[in-house]
């Protein structure tokens, strides 16, 4: 998964107006106590970050 696909999925899940803010503020334990944005900046693969976001948001299996 590329960063562009990650952000497209975030926009779909949370809306384009909120997805970036959420990714900058919401700390996820599965990402080592980092936000999605921090994890991406640290080099965590977007697919791994998406799995953590998907889990936290309790999105349907079809969006995994």
Number of domain units in the chain: 1
63 Cβ contact partners less than 8 Å away, ≥ 6 residues apart:
9, 12, 13, 54
Distances (CA, A) of 48 to 17, 24, 31, 44: 23, 17, 9, 7
As a whole number of angstroms, the distance between CA 9 and CA 58 comes to 14
pTM of the model: 0.92
63 confidence band (pLDDT: 50, 70, 90): confident
**Where in the sequence is the domain holding 19, given as residue range(s)?**
3-63
Span 37-54, pLDDT tens digits: 999 999 999 999 999 999
């Amino acid at each position: 998964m590329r960063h562009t696909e990650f952000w497209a999925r975030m926009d779909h899940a949370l809306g384009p107006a909120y997805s970036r803010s959420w990714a900058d503020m919401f700390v996820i334990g599965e990402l080592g106590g980092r936000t999605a944005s921090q994890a991406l900046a640290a080099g965590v693969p977007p697919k791994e970050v998406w799995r953590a976001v998907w889990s936290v948001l309790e999105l349907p299996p079809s969006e995994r």
